[in-house]
Amino acid sequence: MFDQLTQSLQKTFKNLRGQGKLSEENIQEALRDVRMALLEADVHFQVVKTFVENVREKVMGADVLNSVSPGQQFIKHIHDEIERLLGEKQAEFDKSGRPQSIVMLGLHGVGKTTTTGKLARRFKGEDKKVLVVGCDIRRPAAVDQLRVLAEQAGVEMLGPIPGESVTAVGRRARQQAEQGGFDVVIYDTGGRLQIDDELVNEVAELTRVTDARNKVLVIDAAMGQESVNVAETFHARCGLTGLILTKLDGDARGGAALSVREVTGCPILMVGVGEKQEDLQPFYPSRMADRILGMGDVVSLVEKAQENVDEDEMKRMEKRMFSGQMDLEDFLMQLRQMKKLGSMTQLMDMMPGMPNMDAAKKAKAAELGQRQSKRFEAIILSMTPFERKRPKIINGKRRIRIAKGSGTRVKDVNDLIKQFSQAQKMTKKLKNMKGKMPRMPKGMMPGF
């Protein structure tokens, strides 16, 4: 599954990876290829459109990372967007309600009954008392199939009495589950070849009388674009809460199944990867995105580079501070790091004592702080590189020039130099302290 998508994406990436710089044209071309790859994999056209737009925005707006190539960065954006499409975090069944109840919905032959058996086995493995309910009143064989699967999983099973309606089975099962102290009830329903009003009305009523918090649509990964319509109808009428994809072990293109998550906004809870009862797995969007792209190495490389940008800068600065050599260039860097950390108001909220200030005062102080750091930045940028390295030479005449150049007053330049000298004094103190700090005996701290 997804093999074809993986192959087409890899071909696109191969062209990009070697590029030192990406031109507008390269990006357009790559995005066109990605669009084709997704459409060929049967992803819904509307979903493809959003996907490509999101990637385009990210590529245009991203920070340039020096340690990786633009092509690698592009791959990371595609990965992140696939992950977003798949739902970002792993989702769970709704556990509220006693017993926890799950209604399995879907068209004929998608794997509802098989998956009911798989889920029953899974919950039983968690030491839960499980009841499975056969709500397929039209096909006796379906009830027999469920009975066999329930036995295999070692759980109890309740089937329809001849002549009983689907809702009547649902009501009876709910009552029995509540009285019998069951932890989980799974209602297996019958499917149709095509979605029709009768089927939808029937299951919508069943979800109501059973008060099931989990309304799960089972989707066969091999089903094409039809699955999007099916999902939309079930969602509109029953209010789906989750999806289960089956037959991921096959060679289906799979794109339609992926579109269903985006179209309904419901998470993929589990995936079926075979016919046996143990062939059911939790769904991890990030792992699936890795698998689809087949580019785990590049993705983690870019992630590391993203983490390291700030870390490298901080380390360099720390080193200089401890050596007592801080100059105005470092001071400027500090100002910029502060800016990156977020707005002043957010920072102030995190500081102890600050939250007690009233909102207006806080906003005023934050604004003053922000204005001052902008002013300081302008002042430092108006200095010559030599002045930044040797602030001591900045005499009265130079101060007048710098103030003019930065559109500030001499008093502002004085303030900056005063604040810088204080910071420099601190770093000298740090240096002396570091020299005098008693050394830890070897082995007392892990890693030393």
- Residues lying near ligand GTP in the complex (CB under 6 A): 106, 108-114, 136, 142, 190-191, 246-247, 249-250, 272-275, 279
The least CB distance from residue 112 to Mg ion, in Å, is: 5
**156 with 99: CB under 8 angstroms?**
no
Query: Closest Cα partner for 76 from 151, 16, 122?
Result: 16
The least CB distance from residue 186 to ligand GTP, in Å, is: 12
Which CB atom, from 37 or from 143, has the smaller least distance to ligand GTP?
A: 143
The least CB distance from residue 159 to Mg ion, in Å, is: 12
What single-letter amino acid sits at 265?
A: G
CA 167/CA 135 separation, integer angstroms: 8
The least CB distance from residue 174 to ligand GTP, in Å, is: 21
**245 contacts Mg ion (rule: CB under 5 A):** no
From Mg ion, ligand GTP, none, interface partner of 160 (C-beta below 5 to 8 A by class): none
Tokens, residue 226: 């039809």
From ligand GTP, Mg ion, none, interface partner of 247 (C-beta below 5 to 8 A by class): ligand GTP
Pairing assessment for the beta strands 214-220 and 242-246 based on DSSP bridges:
parallel
List binders of Mg ion among 166-195 (CB under 5 A).
none
Which CB atom, from 112 or from 215, has the smaller least distance to Mg ion?
A: 112
The least CB distance from residue 136 to Mg ion, in Å, is: 6
Burial (0-12, 13-18, 19+ Cβ within 10 Å), 126: exposed
**232 with 263: CB under 8 angstroms?**
yes
CA 278/CA 117 separation, integer angstroms: 10
Q: Which residues fall within 8 angstroms of residue 384, CB to CB, at 6 or more apart?
A: none
DSSP character string of 372-441:
HHHHHHHHHHTS-HHHHH-GGG--HHHHHHHHHHHT--HHHHHHHHHHHHHHHHHHHHHHHHHHHSPPPP
DSSP character string of 181-212:
T-SEEEEE----SS--HHHHHHHHHHHHHHT-
Which CB atom, from 136 or from 330, has the smaller least distance to ligand GTP?
A: 136
From Mg ion, ligand GTP, none, interface partner of 407 (C-beta below 5 to 8 A by class): none
Which CB atom, from 192 or from 409, has the smaller least distance to Mg ion?
A: 192
Which CB atom, from 203 or from 302, has the smaller least distance to ligand GTP?
A: 203
Q: Which stretch binds Mg ion (CB under 5 A): 19-27, 28-36, 104-112, 375-383?
A: 104-112
**424 contacts Mg ion (rule: CB under 5 A):** no
Which CB atom, from 205 or from 249, has the smaller least distance to ligand GTP?
A: 249
Pairing assessment for the beta strands 280-282 and 268-272 based on DSSP bridges:
antiparallel
**113 contacts Mg ion (rule: CB under 5 A):** yes
Which CB atom, from 33 or from 279, has the smaller least distance to ligand GTP?
A: 279
Tokens, residue 42: 């049967």
CA distances from 398 to 341, 350, 393 (A): 32, 39, 8
From ligand GTP, Mg ion, none, interface partner of 109 (C-beta below 5 to 8 A by class): ligand GTP
Buried b (16+ CB within 10 A) or exposed e, 60-85: eeeeebeebbbbbbbbbbbbbbbbeb
CA angle 419, 423, 425 (to 5 degrees): 115
From ligand GTP, Mg ion, none, interface partner of 275 (C-beta below 5 to 8 A by class): ligand GTP
List binders of Mg ion among 319-348 (CB under 5 A).
none
Q: Which stretch binds Mg ion (CB under 5 A): 98-106, 109-117, 350-358, 382-390?
A: 109-117
From ligand GTP, Mg ion, none, interface partner of 369 (C-beta below 5 to 8 A by class): none
Which CB atom, from 100 or from 113, has the smaller least distance to Mg ion?
A: 113
From ligand GTP, Mg ion, none, interface partner of 274 (C-beta below 5 to 8 A by class): ligand GTP
Strand partners, 408: none
- Binding map of Mg ion across residues 128-157, x = CB under 5 A, - = no contact: --------------x---------------
Which CB atom, from 142 or from 223, has the smaller least distance to ligand GTP?
A: 142
From ligand GTP, Mg ion, none, interface partner of 170 (C-beta below 5 to 8 A by class): none
Which CB atom, from 136 or from 387, has the smaller least distance to ligand GTP?
A: 136
Which chain residues interact with Mg ion by CB under 5 A?
112-113, 142
